[in-house]
Amino acid sequence: MTFQADIITTLLADNALKALIVKRLWPDAAPQDAETPFIVMWEFATGFEHTFKTVAVTSPLLQFVIYDSTYGGALAVADALRAALLTTTYPLVFEDERSIRDMTTGLYRRDVDVRVSHV
């Protein structure tokens, strides 16, 4: 299992997050006309490989893009997402968050950028 698949499995098993998004978490792109709220996860920046003693570690930057029909709803999903991410077995660094109103869809969008280290 890839580390991305492992993270998705962990997130979808989190009861608080699942209560908000059900199973609407997709890698790379959401289906057209997906019900809100939903999350799209994609690798925003490929991490460089670093070697610690004899172990090669990579830390790519993942972006979780949350869409909802309300700003408060997007923030609530972001809060649940951060809490669920902390239950993974991977070392994480939360790097950035920002909100916008998506001009194409009219939905509120919250981006959560997370650096994930893995071997």
pLDDT tens per residue, range 64-74: 999 999 999 99
Average pLDDT over every residue of 33-59: 82
Domain count, the chain: 1
The whole-number pLDDT of residue 52 equals 67
User: What are the C-alpha distances in Å from 119 to residues 3, 7, 8, 47, 57?
Assistant: 9, 14, 17, 11, 5
pTM for the model = 0.89
Return the CATH number at 39: 3.30.2000.10
Long-range contacts of 23-28, Cβ-Cβ distance < 8 Å, separation of 24 or more: none
Domain encompassing residue 16: 3-116
1 confidence band (pLDDT: 50, 70, 90):
low
pLDDT at 36 over 90: yes
CB 82 within 8 Å of CB 112 = yes
Query: Other CB atoms closer than 10 Å to residue 44's CB: what's the count?
Result: 17
